[in-house]
A and B are shown apart, each in its own frame.
Chain A
Amino acid sequence: MNTNPNRRYADITGRALLYAVLGIMAIYYLLPLALMIVTSFRSMDEIRMGQLIDWPTQLNLDAWRIAWSEAQIGARSERGLQPYFINSMLITLPAVAISTLMGAVNGYVLSFWRFRGSNLFFGLLLFGCFLPFQAILLPHANVLGRMGISGSIAGLIFTHVVYGLAFTTLFFRNYYVTLPGELIKAAQLDGAGFWRIFWRIILPLSTPILTVCVIWQFTQVWNDFLFGVTFSDPSSQPVTVGLNNLVNSSTGERRYNVDMAGAIIAALPTLLVYVIAGKYFVRGLTAGSVKG
């Protein structure tokens, strides 16, 4: 059929059109990021004189320095996004580690050590994946206060662990039910107990889902704004809150280069994770949605 020259011509233009559309879409998604990066290297003079889309005449690192350590954000004594960035690290790393480990153990029980009511429990937990957090904000603020950890890093870690458990348990449970149950039975016959089976057999088999879960939780906790703005005080605010305050502080002229450098600083850790382990990132997204 392809010997017909007209038909072949149509095929080739069709392919060209296809690549053109895909290319234009790629530009659409990339343009904001590209503009962010380019603008962060321009000086304010260039931005005032020039255009939205323009190359910097020279590589100017002022905006990065100001965003990282010099900009006055709110009424804080320390300057720049640096302290916020450190807060985000201090919140994210423990929250991810604890919620992932708890999710793994929960998933292990819900897959291999079922008991009466364990399926009901799983169902109740799953609703947490869809819970609009507005419905728990007020009581949670109250309880954090009573626990003496309101406005602290510890309070934010606790919050992220509590409301991350639904997803982490879901990930591990859905992964473990695909493993053969004979694995456990054989180990039990050999006299291995609950924890021995978990550490020696199940956990070594969990690398793929561990990766998915850690990446998911890291992205969720790092990018969180609602908890960060509600349950923090100025000394424990995460970088998303810092960025928002930097951009919306109304003193003086808008420094777009500083705003963009700040936005990149806030986005860098999750972007890096995405570039390094994008495959697992996508798997987490789809696992969370297909089996909600």
Chain B
Amino acid sequence: MSESKTADLTSVAMTPRRNSRMGDTLAYWMPKLVLSPTLIIVLVFFYGFILWTGYLSFTNSRMLPSYDLVGWANYVRLFNNERWFVSLRNLAVYSVLFIVICLAIGLSLAILLDQKIRAEGALRTIYLYPMALSFIVTGTVWKWMLNPQVGIEQFVRGLGWETFRFDWLVDPNFSIYTIVVAAVWQSSGFVMALFLAGLRGVDDSIIKAAQIDGASRFMIYTRIIIPSLRPVFFSAFVMLAHIAIKSFDLALALTGGGPGVSSDLPAIFMYQMSFTRNQMGLGAASAMIMLLTVVAILVPYLYSELRTKKHEH
């Protein structure tokens, strides 16, 4: 083996000089050359476009982009806009409920599944499959099930409970909660998968030691295991917050933002202002607020990720 290696080395050394220098230059630039399309994409299509959207948010663009600056006018109009406030309040209600319920269901299911369950694989598959569906499909199904005339309300009444009411879908005060119901159905299995992976990573020796000390199973979970899952909580939170802020298709398919604008969300507001209402400047301003919200959640997350990594070294 060592012989063949030396043979190879000499053959490299024997290749003509000029040729190898050209090859060297090419070899030096090749990695950079290969990355350059992606570099252009990142600089232009990510950051350049963000700046461009930012610029548009300071212009009086309507149907077409205009480049006449109007200062903060769009932001002032945005925060004087009743509908924008409704969508922000909805986003707050929706994301808090969505995140809390998903975390609760996800953690509970993961703990229950972690008790050496038979058919764990099959159950996991069932809990997680909604994640493979498009939000449009989820919205279509739940729209039908939540429709009081044909869905769950009608079904329960048919069973004999004549006064049963479950008409959130058509009630402006409750329509936003239907989006929570459908979104939790779609995403909670994913949170379960995250927590289950975290549980499998918990150090067994600590648990054994606690058992020897006579700690009850409940104590072991609340005092040792769940606190050690903090990083999982954190990344699940970031993923869920990200899903919530971007929510567009689910709300559009399920309620269309209605009745009225009662279940409007910033993503729908942005889309309609920019593409159907000819209020491009206002749409750009709302997009920038959405971006800032994501950044505000992301920066502490990345900061703590980097910090824990430094501690590890």
**Which residues of A pack against B, CB within 8 Å?**
18-19, 21-22, 25-26, 28-30, 32-33, 35-36, 39, 47, 51-53, 102, 105-106, 109-110, 113, 115, 118, 121, 124-125, 127-128, 130-140, 142-143, 162-163, 165, 169, 189-191, 193-195, 219, 222-226, 230, 240, 243-244, 247-248, 256, 259-260, 262-263, 266-267, 270-271, 273-275, 278, 281-282, 285-286, 289-290, 292
Flag whether B127 is at the interface (Cβ < 8 A): yes
Residue of A nearest to B138 (CB): A32
Interchain Cβ contacts under 8 Å between A and B, 10 examples = A32-B145, A33-B141, A110-B35, A115-B32, A130-B298, A132-B246, A133-B246, A138-B287, A165-B38, A274-B129
Task: Flag if B155 contacts A51 (CB, 8 Å).
Answer: yes
Q: Which residues of B contact A165 (CB under 8 A)?
A: 38, 41
A contact residues around B50 at 8 Å (CB): 131, 135-136
B94 interface residue (CB < 8 Å to A): no
Q: Which chain B positions have C-beta within 8 A of A289? A: 194, 235-236, 238-239
Contact call B30/A194, Cβ cutoff below 8 A: yes
Q: Which residues of chain B have C-beta atoms less than 8 A from A226's C-beta? A: 248-249, 267, 271
Partner of B31 from the list A26, A32, A109, A292 (CB cut-off 8 Å) is: A109
A sample of 4 more A-B contacts (CB under 8 A), given A18-B117, A22-B123, is: A32-B142, A124-B46, A132-B245, A135-B288
- Docked-complex contact A282 and B134, CB < 8 angstroms: no
Please, which residues of chain A bring their CB within 8 A of the CB of B290? 132, 134-135
Q: Does B270 contact A (CB under 8 A)?
A: yes
Summed over the interface, the residue pairs from A and B with CB atoms below 8 Å come to a total of 251
Q: Beyond A51-B158, A266-B136, is A244–B253 a contact (Cβ under 8 Å)?
A: yes
Whether A138 pairs with B52 at a CB distance below 8 angstroms is yes
- How far, in whole Å, are A127 and B49 apart by their CA atoms in the complex? 14
- Which residues from B are CB-within-8-Å of A224? 134
A25 to B280: give the CA distance in the assembly, Å.
45
* Contact status B134-A266, CB under 8 Å: yes
Q: Which residues of A contact B137 (CB under 8 A)?
A: 240, 243, 263, 266-267
Count of interface residues, chain B, beta-carbon cutoff 8 Å:
97
What residue in chain B is nearest A198 (Cβ atoms)? B34
Question: Are B294's CB and A290's CB within 8 A?
Answer: no
| Closest beta carbon of chain A to B102's beta carbon, Å | 13
Contact A285 B271 (CB under 8 A): no
Establish whether residues B141 and A35, one from each chain, have CB atoms under 8 Å apart when the complex forms.
yes
Query: Residue B152 at the A interface, CB < 8 A?
Result: yes
Most chain A beta-carbon neighbours within 10 Å: one of B37, B127, B144: B144
Which one of B5-13, B74-82, B168-176, B208-216 is at the A interface? B5-13
Asked if A248 and B256 make an inter-chain contact with CB atoms under 8 angstroms apart, the answer reads: yes
User: For residue B141, which residues in chain A have a CB less than 8 angstroms away from its CB?
Assistant: 32-33, 35-36, 260, 263
Q: For the complex, what is the distance from the CA of A142 to the CA of B23, rounded to whole Å?
A: 41
How far apart are B126's CB and chain A's nearest CB, in angstroms? 5
Give B127-139 as 1s and 0s: 1 = Cβ < 8 Å from A's Cβ atoms.
Answer: 1111111111110
Residues of the B chain whose Cβ atoms lie less than 8 Å from the Cβ of A263: 137, 140-141
Asked if B134 and A222 sit within 8 Å, CB to CB, the answer is yes
Residues of A within 8 A of B125 (CB): 275, 278
Whether B38 pairs with A125 at a CB distance below 8 angstroms is yes
- A18/B112 contact (C-beta < 8 A), A219-B132, A225-B248 known: yes
CA distance A170 to B126 in the complex (A): 28
